[in-house]
Amino acid sequence: MNVHSEVVTRPPLMSERRVSLIGALMVAVGPVSMALFTPAMPEIVHAFGTTEAAVKLTLSLYFAGFAFAQLVCGPLSDGFGRRPVTIAFMAIFLAASVMALLAPNIHVLIAARFLQGVGAAVGLSVSRALVRDLFTHESSARILNLIGIILAIGPAVSPTLGGVTMELFGWHSVFVLMLAMGLAVMLTAVFAMKETIIRDLGRIRPAALIRSYGSLLTSPYFMFSSLVVAGTAGAIYAQATVLPFVLIGRVGLTPTQFGIGMLAQTLSYLAGSLVARRLMGRVGAFALVPVGLVFVGIGATAMGVSLRTIEPSYLSVMGPVALFAFGIAFAMPAMMTAAMAPFPRNAGAASAMMGFLQMGTGLAGGLFCAVIGDPVVGLATVVPCLGAMAIVSWLLWRRLPAPA
């Protein structure tokens, strides 16, 4: 795939490093809020005297809020601006975190988690739109890679932090941590983020939105590159709904051990991001995609085979997960850049649709695991299928001509 060199006509409003730091913090809200919560899921079953299915619903509806809110906050940021929309949605996230902290029963907690997902959605859609507003091609891929490196640190420590905090102070304490992170994003949006677009409410009129989303959904270049992202990242989100019940419920880890054990996934992603960053300067970001998908394929196949043939153990579960995560780090920056590149005027909508496909795939995968019932069988089925989807989508995408 030939990628034309970009022409820089004026200095960007914010440097690559500044955009990377702001973007990483914004993107991290969603995964960190999920990672902090997962170690507490088995405990919440007992705390509210409810069922595993009800507690899994708190995560599924978090995904649902996250996925569908993308379709709203992305276009709104195209019309009203990146900063005001970020501040408004983070206010929703903060209010929902307080609601979850004070939840008297599982029904209120489920509603709070849904609203948390709605608020956190702004981080994913606006951060990628910020990158597209200011940078393209290899510069964009470098920033998205650096965002991935910084982002890896948050989810890496979050399960451990959530597990330890929960054992010391109870499951309510994980929502205090979420409040702190939401406040940090709010302050960053107010004091560090510069507005990167001119306010234009014409972009959010119904007819304009229909045209915008129509152009995205009918673009094979956008759809296939987005499906590579959806298949890889979506698998990570889908398995997050069942890994606590596999590793804690079936393998027998404690919440703290689970939190520490999840480091295998995130540190593998971090290692992949660092290696990819070194190689980008030599071969370019797009040449790394097939290498990453080889690791994705190996990890997905290993998971499908090992979980169906031997009794699940920490290594049989997390070994394939680590390989899968390592490959994602190679594939994601270039494919996100490819999806966004042709849509400078509606970058928020493009980022939103890509995020919707990404989170929607994770939601669908988690629901399919729930339908299967056995979390081990669900994991062994869903992750290989999503890995195959990503690989096939890339094979189709690479046959397409590069857009102007």
In a domain, 105, yes or no: yes
The one-letter amino acid code at 225 reads S
Q: How far apart (Å, rounded) are the C-alpha atoms in residues 296 and 390?
A: 9
In a domain, 404, yes or no: no
Lowest-confidence region among 34-43, 101-110, 175-184: 34-43
In a domain, 385, yes or no: yes
Radius of gyration of the CA atoms of the chain, in A: 20
pLDDT one-digit tens code per residue, 358-371: 878 888 888 888 88
CATH at 361: 1.20.1250.20
In a domain, 315, yes or no: yes
Vertex 159 angle, CA 359 and 248, to 5°: 95
In a domain, 312, yes or no: yes
Q: Please, what's the b/e burial string for 354-383 (b: 16 or more CB within 10 A of its CB; e: otherwise)?
A: bbbbbbbbbbbbbbebbebeebbebbbbbb
pLDDT one-digit tens code per residue, 216-234: 899 999 999 999 999 998 8
The one-letter amino acid code at 321 reads V
pLDDT exceeds 80 at position 350: yes
Token reading at 249: 């419920």
In a domain, 372, yes or no: yes
Which domain does 376 fall in, by range? Answer: 16-397
Closest CA to 40 of 318, 259, 367, 314: 259
In total, how many domains does the chain have?
1
Token reading at 135: 């940078």
Angstrom distances, CA of residue 165 to CA of 54, 247, 357: 23, 19, 33
- Region 289-297: mean pLDDT is 95
In a domain, 220, yes or no: yes
In a domain, 10, yes or no: no
The model's pTM is: 0.77
pLDDT exceeds 90 at position 166: no
Token reading at 276: 């990819």
Pair 241, 378: CB distance under 8 Å: no
The one-letter amino acid code at 85 reads V
What percent of the chain has a predicted confidence (pLDDT) above 90? Answer: 25
